[in-house]
Amino acid sequence: MQAFDGIRVLDFTHVFAGPFATSQLALMGAEVIKIESPHEPDMMRCDGADEKRNEIGLGLNYLANNQGKKAICLDLGQSEGREIARQLIATADVLVQNYTHGLDRHELGPAQALKINPALIYCSMSGFGSDNPFSGRPAYDAVIQAFSGMMSVNGEPTQEKLRVGPPLIDYGTGAQTAFAIASALYQRSRTGKGQVIDVNMLDAALVMMTPLVLDAIHCGKTGERTGNAQTHHPGHSVYACSDDAIMVGAYTLRQHRSLFDALDLGDLMLDPDQQNYAWLRDNGEKLRQRIQQCLKTETADYWEEYLNSRHVPAARIRDMYEMLQQEQLQRASASQHQRLGDNSLTAPIAAFHYATDGPEFNDYCARHGGDTAEVLGELGISVKQLETLRNSGVI
């Protein structure tokens, strides 16, 4: 039995953050019903590198976060659509929504929903939260990267402010949301009461930058960007090798000493009382030059193998596709890559394993509104009523 077997989730979310959160619940056994407008499906249905899949509304960027969910169409702008939503809320354990202005305008906000179902876990996701002047602003990952200051701490000092490539804030927000919902479900198992949860992307971004946030508050300014080099920790930097580049990850004093020993830099093996963090900081640039002189003599693959054998964290900087084609195959039995629907591709689904009944993809992925008749039929809506609702654009 998976952790969320028997849990029903109403998923009023789109793009990445919300669908990723609910997909994590689906992986652990929850029944997730994705609810989209009949007229405006999730934009990710038509997004991804496979154009043929985009044309049928099952784009790769949609598939990754929505596989295993049921999908229905419901026009909340019509009274009949809102009434069906209320009936679904009465059957649900969790409701997740990330509309810019929430569901209150449809009379389906947290107060109304918990009046229908007092045991409901109601989770709202937004860009900026609901208690500040920025509430209600639309947001995407890159917008929050700019607003939160993440772009101001990324990249080299001479570069323009730089966006992080992958949608880290979307996925970080989704992970925070999934954890909040799981915690609320556990809380409900003890109290019998529902819960209202607010999650916002800005706070998620700040949580992801906690060390830098604390330093900025303490110093009264944003720290200087260091790019791939850290002069305060010279062993924790990117270095050029004879053929490629390597990320050396020595951070602690002990790891720096291991690095100096591995590179045969015996003259740097000072008395431990002298070799402190202040010494690393004050001599950072000189130490970087010495390390660089050594590393450029061999290949990145050589240094990766050698340094790790000496307990110094290090990795050649890989091209992502190269890693997926080579190294990923070596750890496939331990990884959480599973097949995407009717596709030969596999996708990463979770970063954890259970000994039994862990995360598992249901390889079904619904077309837009593909499960409307089934789900609404369970509410007692007849075939004739479904046809009437379909003709009026409610479903």
Residues facing residue 236 across a β-bridge: 249
Domain ranges of the chain: 8-208+336-391, 236-323
How far is the first Cα of the chain from the last one, in angstroms, to the nearest whole number?
33
pTM: 0.92
Q: What is the pLDDT of residues 255-309, one digit of tens each?
A: 999 999 999 998 887 776 777 888 888 898 999 999 999 999 999 999 999 999 9
In this prediction, residue 334 carries a pLDDT of: 62
In this prediction, residue 343 carries a pLDDT of: 66
The residues annotated as belonging to the active site are: 170
CATH of 8-208+336-391, one of 1.10.3720.10, 3.40.50.10540, 3.40.50.300, 3.10.350.10: 3.40.50.10540
CA-to-CA dists, residue 63 to 43, 321, 340, angstroms: 12, 19, 7
The DSSP symbol for 377 reads H
In this prediction, residue 131 carries a pLDDT of: 86
Longest Cα–Cα distance in the chain: 86
Residues in the chain, pLDDT under 70: 272, 332-335, 339, 341-344
* Domain topology for 236-323: formyl-coa transferase, domain 3 (3.30.1540)
